[in-house]
Amino acid sequence: MYRLVAIDLDGTLLNSQSKISERNRQAIGRAIEKGVEVVICSGRILSGAKVFAREVGAEGIIITCNGAIISDVKTGAVLYDNPMSKEDCYKIIDVCRKEKVYFHVYTGNVMFTEELKYGALFYWNINESLPRDERIDIRMVEDIGEAVRKFHKSASKFVVISEDRAQLLRIRKQVACIDTVEVMSSNYNNIEVVNRGVSKGSALKFISEKLGIPREEVIAIGDNENDYSMIQFAGLGVAMGNAENFVKEAADYVTLSNDEDGVAEVFKKFVL
């Protein structure tokens, strides 16, 4: 019997239009009614992920920023917070400056960006449909480095985006030389940087221990590199049909794609 299901958002629960299908929503709702703990486990910032957690009724624990922050959706309490050092932030910013590449930063529940494009533009558009108190706190700044220096806490996650694969590889190699951070990807055109030891897998382990649910009773569903660790940790690791091949190879089961309600298929087969 599986009592805890961790679900990635982009490429997993969300389809290609960044929407949750009615079939996925109903399957998750039925599982929650049965007493199953459903945890959204995303690379997104808290306010950006919380919108979808509430949409499916998963109002317990939520994992955001690839595991750097674990929160309680209902109370807003932070259960775990592991930001990078400001010194590491400056090193990453220096690499991005030399490469003249787009990047944005999550510091707790604030997003710093110098340009309104990619993820910043996506969240900006989402904000238009949200009540003011639920909007993502996007702060346009002239210099992210200066914003990080002045802010009361350090960065939870960096997101670097480029359509140039060779450039991304160069940046990844340079950032990976910082031995106190972790580098991963959630899409073909990005790299994401968090503090050393942070991952969705370690976050899921933290939650399973906190709830007293053994890993054998945990399912994790994802599609990309940043989901790899939680798929390995879970008793049943599930890769989406659209997942990267190495993620599929690591999984115990491969479901349908995110445009074919692959999440609902998992709940139907293993939970409901």
Which residues belong to the active site? 8
Nearest to 183 by CA among 204, 157, 218: 157
The DSSP line for 215-239 is GGGEEEEE-SGGGHHHHHHSSEEEE
Query: What's the CA gap between 201 and 227, in Å, rounded?
Result: 8
In the block, tokens 């945990």 appear at 218
Residue 156: HSE in the Cβ half-sphere, 13 Å Cα cutoff: 23
Q: Report helix, strand or coil for 188.
A: coil
Decide: 16 and 259 in contact? Cβ < 8 Å: yes
